[in-house]
């Protein structure tokens, strides 16, 4: 795993290693969830969004969705406070998952319909969340991956940007939650 890249002079995560543009070090950058918390828990608004991300992951894990990965993006990964003079409103997340044993897409949806309702997830967790099964037909998986890459590799202004990838496995979540709590308390105490 690599560290979370620093924002470039445009306030964005660079899409590639600008010093070596043909390097395999490029978006989506594989990082740890704990590193995401360390890097982006810089304000109460951001901490609240990260808390929502951790709760969203816990809800996914409770359904036994633990194998796969998540792509993280949106204004949350940008220096939006400088670029647009506002805090981020949410974090964009695409979860690429493997179905649990003895589950089908239908049984997963029936048992956990809220996790598949975009607006409910956004309201409950401040996560603009989407789900993609890694067991989809190969052409569908390629289509979905290309779609998200093309959506997330640029800002609306057409500026190139990068995004992050974290493992869906819950092993790092307790450490990330502890770091988040440790970063929240000093900010709350300063109010």
How many domains would you assign to the chain?
1
Q: What is the mean pLDDT of the chain?
A: 92
In the chain, % of residues over pLDDT 70: 97
What's the confidence (pLDDT) of residue 135? Answer: 92
In a domain, 58, yes or no: yes
Least Cα distance to 149 among 165, 136, 125 occurs for 165
Q: Calculate the alpha carbon distances from 7 to 85, 121, 175, 180 in Å.
A: 16, 28, 24, 21
In a domain, 176, yes or no: yes
**Whether 159 contacts 80, CB under 8 Å:** no
Question: In which domain, by residue range, is 177 found?
Answer: 29-189
In a domain, 137, yes or no: yes
Whether the upstream peptide bond of residue 117 has omega within 30° of 0, thus cis, is: no
Partners of residue 73 on adjacent β-strands:
92
What's the confidence (pLDDT) of residue 124? Answer: 96
Q: For residue 154, what is the DSSP state?
A: B
Q: Say how far apart CA 105 and CA 115 lie, in whole Å.
A: 12
- At 115-158, the pLDDT tens digits run 989 999 999 999 999 999 999 899 999 999 999 988 888 888 88
Residue 174 Cα to chain centre, angstroms: 17
In a domain, 8, yes or no: no
Q: Say how far apart CA 67 and CA 167 lie, in whole Å.
A: 8
In a domain, 145, yes or no: yes
- At 64-83, the pLDDT tens digits run 999 999 999 999 999 999 99
pLDDT band at 99 (very low <50, low <70, confident <90, very high): very high
In a domain, 86, yes or no: yes
In a domain, 172, yes or no: yes
- At 127-139, the pLDDT tens digits run 999 999 999 899 9
Q: What is the C-alpha radius of gyration for the chain, rounded to an integer number of angstroms?
A: 17
In a domain, 159, yes or no: yes
In the chain, % of residues over pLDDT 90: 72
> Is residue 94 predicted with pLDDT exceeding 80?
yes
Q: How many helices (H) and strands (E) does the chain have?
A: 7, 5
């Amino acid at each position: 795993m690599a560290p979370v890249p620093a924002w470039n002079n445009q306030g964005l995560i660079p899409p590639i290693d600008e010093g070596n543009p043909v390097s395999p070090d490029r978006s989506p950058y594989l990082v740890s969830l704990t590193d995401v918390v360390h890097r982006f828990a810089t304000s109460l608004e951001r901490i609240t969004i990260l808390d929502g991300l951790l709760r969203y992951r816990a809800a996914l894990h409770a359904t036994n969705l633990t194998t796969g990965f998540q792509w993280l993006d949106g204004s949350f990964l940008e220096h939006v406070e400088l670029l647009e003079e506002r805090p981020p409103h949410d974090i964009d997340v695409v979860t690429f998952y493997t179905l649990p044993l003895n589950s089908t897409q239908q049984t997963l949806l029936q048992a956990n319909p809220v996790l598949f309702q975009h607006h409910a997830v956004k309201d409950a967790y401040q996560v603009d969340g989407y789900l993609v099964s890694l067991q989809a037909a190969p052409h569908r998986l390629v289509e979905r991956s290309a779609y998200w890459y093309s959506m997330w590799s640029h800002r609306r202004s057409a500026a190139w940007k990068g995004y992050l990838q974290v493992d869906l496995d819950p092993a790092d979540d307790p450490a990330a939650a502890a770091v988040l709590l440790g970063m929240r308390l000093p900010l709350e105490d300063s109010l």
